[in-house]
């Protein structure tokens, strides 16, 4: 089955409870692999980290887009009322209110040393974000594995508590039987009742711990938990002798540890930031170009039309007067005088002028008058900036050095963590054999003490001591097994990948 289909089926199986108990148990069977897959899809912290990656992705695109000119389209509309304006000794009269509109299309490009360095810086920051996401995912898998093992350990302790309740119940019946035949006192019976009650309390606490661990597992997975009693963990983990080589693990951790990978990516981003700060000493180049247009229209076009008609009337009257003066004073004898009536202003001319003004005034808002194309280029080289550039470079260099030291410190920490987890795993494996022998010896001691008490040659206190020793040995054996598994999980966390 493909991974995506498996994740989907696991999510559906856990999110939709069934009606019947048997169906619930089948529906809520959970493997470690399914738990990890569901956590990758739903864990809030992992999703938040993934969301941060989108910003750095666009940051890279923006850095490369800085080499392309930006395009801006702007427009405006305005209104100016009628009246007069005075400038020094001149007065400008606006006979009618006007409305207008304008547009501008502009291209601009700014190039500097920081622009040249920005793609490298943005790419380094994106790689750091990717490393953070990968590290969060690896750490989440480690937490899921450890929580899964904690549930199995708690369930094993609960089963041991059930066994202890069964034993104490048998001891109580045995003490009552011996008391009835006069072979012991009522003190033994009461002591057996107290031991049974204490074991029942221990069982309640063990079962409560199982419920809490299951709820915590589903919380880490990022989904609501079903009824805890219906959750069945199906994976088992065998105990095998550790066969990993310490030097090989150290080498692998140096390349795979998620925190170390993130810090190295962060150090690379800091070095890119230092180079970007040093680029402030380079000159900057700015280019711009633009196209624009405007409209202006009288709100009362009749005023403009009347002014145009009056001007044409005055010009025509002056031409007629000039014609009459020429005929009267400058005309040579015998020459036919000019017909001055042809220069007279006619109603047809008045209508044409008035209509032309009205037609020319009807331009708002889209009939633009284009303006000439404009372009400019500039070069800037700051000479003295009140030591702001050395300050930025010093801060960027310090940040880069700090990031490098953080990498070095983490490398030492990873070596220590891997070595510590490796030796802890070796000790945990050896402890299993010792605890197994102790469990066998304690079980034999309990059997002998039970037989001695049954035949009357031993006391009930001896039986309780043997029972406590057996219970402790069995609990220690369970803890030793899961300490071994937790040691592997800790080693996997330090190395940065699953080892089994």
Task: Give the list of residues 6+ apart from residue 265 with CB closer than 8 angstroms, or none.
Answer: 124, 127, 128, 130, 131, 132
Residue at 117 is within a domain: no
Q: Please indicate, yes or no, whether residues 394 and 261 belong to a single structural domain of this protein.
A: yes
Give, for 80, the enclosing helix (H) or strand (E): strand 70-80
Query: Residue 213: is its pLDDT beyond 90?
Result: yes
Residue 314 domain boundaries: 70-111+284-380
Q: Please indicate, yes or no, whether residues 351 and 218 belong to a single structural domain of this protein.
A: no
Query: Residue 6: is its pLDDT beyond 50?
Result: no
Residue at 500 is within a domain: no
Q: Please indicate, yes or no, whether residues 248 and 396 belong to a single structural domain of this protein.
A: yes
Q: How many domains does the chain have?
A: 2
* Alpha helix segments (H runs only) across 279-372: 301-325, 347-361
Domain end among 315, 346, 380: 380
pLDDT digits (tens, 9 = 90+) for 42-64: 999 999 999 988 899 999 999 99
The pLDDT, as a whole number, for residue 211 is 95
Q: Specify the pTM.
A: 0.72
pLDDT digits (tens, 9 = 90+) for 321-348: 888 888 887 776 767 788 888 888 888 8
Q: Please indicate, yes or no, whether residues 370 and 445 belong to a single structural domain of this protein.
A: no
Residues 148 and 151: their CA atoms lie apart, in Å, by 5
Residue at 244 is within a domain: yes
With beta carbons less than 8 A apart as the criterion, state whether 295 and 365 touch: yes
Query: Residue 9: is its pLDDT beyond 50?
Result: no
Q: Please indicate, yes or no, whether residues 376 and 392 belong to a single structural domain of this protein.
A: no
State the Cα angle at 233 between 228 and 235, rounded to 5°.
170
Domain end among 357, 380, 403: 380
C-alpha 421: how far from chain center: 31
Q: Please indicate, yes or no, whether residues 277 and 359 belong to a single structural domain of this protein.
A: no
pLDDT digits (tens, 9 = 90+) for 129-176: 999 999 899 999 999 999 999 999 999 999 999 998 998 888 888 888
Residues 236 and 63: their CA atoms lie apart, in Å, by 50
Confidence of residue 104 (pLDDT cuts 50, 70, 90): very high
Percent of the chain with pLDDT over 70: 94
Task: Give the list of residues 6+ apart from residue 370 with CB closer than 8 angstroms, or none.
Answer: 291, 292, 293
Burial (CB count <10 Å: 0-12, 13-18, 19+), residue 33: middle
The pLDDT, as a whole number, for residue 2 is 37
Q: Residue 261's closest CA among 145, 142, 410, 120?
A: 410
Domain end among 350, 380, 410: 380
Query: Residue 371: is its pLDDT beyond 80?
Result: yes
Phi, psi of 290 (to 5 degrees): -155, 150
Residue at 119 is within a domain: no
The pLDDT, as a whole number, for residue 27 is 56
pLDDT digits (tens, 9 = 90+) for 269-289: 999 999 999 998 889 999 999
CATH value at residue 180 = 1.20.1600.10
Query: Residue 262: is its pLDDT beyond 70?
Result: yes
Q: Please indicate, yes or no, whether residues 267 and 323 belong to a single structural domain of this protein.
A: no
Residue count of the chain = 500
pLDDT averaged over every residue in the chain: 86
Q: Please indicate, yes or no, whether residues 64 and 79 belong to a single structural domain of this protein.
A: no
């Amino acid at each position: 089955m493909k991974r995506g289909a498996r994740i989907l089926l696991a999510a559906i199986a856990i999110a939709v409870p069934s009606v019947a108990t048997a169906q619930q148990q089948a529906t809520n069977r959970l493997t470690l692999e399914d738990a990890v897959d569901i956590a990758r899809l739903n864990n809030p912290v992992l999703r938040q980290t993934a969301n941060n990656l989108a910003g750095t992705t666009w940051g890279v695109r923006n850095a490369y887009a800085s080499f392309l000119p930006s395009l801006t389209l702007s427009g405006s509309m305005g209104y100016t009322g009628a009246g007069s304006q005075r400038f020094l000794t001149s007065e400008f009269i606006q006979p009618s209110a006007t409305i207008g509109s304008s547009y501008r299309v502009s291209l601009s490009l700014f190039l500097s040393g920081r622009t040249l360095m920005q793609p490298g810086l943005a790419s380094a920051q994106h790689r750091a974000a990717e490393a953070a996401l990968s590290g969060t995912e690896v750490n989440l898998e480690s937490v899921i594995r450890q929580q899964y093992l904690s549930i199995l350990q708690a369930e094993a302790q609960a089963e041991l508590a059930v066994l202890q309740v069964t034993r104490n119940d048998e001891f109580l019946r045995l003490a009552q039987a011996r008391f009835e035949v006069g072979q012991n006192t009522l003190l033994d019976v009461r002591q057996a009742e107290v031991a049974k009650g204490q074991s029942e309390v221990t069982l309640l606490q063990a079962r409560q711990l199982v419920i809490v661990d299951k709820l915590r597992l589903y919380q880490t997975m990022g989904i609501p938990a079903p009824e805890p009693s219906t959750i069945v963990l199906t994976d088992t983990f065998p105990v095998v002798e550790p066969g990993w080589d310490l030097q090989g693990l150290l080498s692998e951790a140096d390349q795979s540890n998620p925190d170390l990978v993130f810090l190295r990516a962060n150090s690379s981003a800091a070095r890119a930031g230092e180079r970007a700060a040093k680029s402030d000493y380079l000159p900057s180049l700015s280019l711009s170009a633009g196209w624009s247009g405007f409209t202006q229209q009288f709100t009362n076009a009749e005023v403009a039309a009347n002014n145009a008609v009056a001007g044409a009337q005055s010009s025509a009257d002056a031409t007629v007067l000039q014609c009459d003066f020429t005929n009267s004073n400058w005309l040579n004898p015998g020459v036919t005088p000019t017909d001055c009536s042809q220069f007279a202003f006619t109603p047809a001319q008045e209508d044409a002028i008035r209509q032309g003004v009205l037609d020319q005034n009807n331009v708002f808002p889209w009939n633009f008058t284009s303006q000439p194309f404009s372009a400019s280029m500039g070069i800037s080289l700051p000479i003295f900036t009140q030591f702001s550039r050395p300050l930025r470079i010093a801060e960027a260099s310090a940040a880069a050095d700090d990031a490098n030291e953080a990498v070095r410190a983490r490398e030492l920490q990873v070596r220590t963590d891997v070595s510590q987890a490796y030796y802890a795993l070796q000790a945990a494996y050896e402890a299993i054999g010792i605890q197994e022998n102790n469990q066998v010896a304690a079980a034999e001691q309990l059997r002998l003490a039970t037989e001695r008490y049954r035949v009357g040659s031993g006391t009930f206190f001896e039986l309780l001591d043997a029972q406590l020793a057996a219970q402790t040995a069995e609990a220690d054996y369970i803890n030793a097994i899961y300490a071994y598994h937790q040691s592997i999980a800790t080693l996997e966390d330090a190395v940065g990948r699953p080892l089994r």
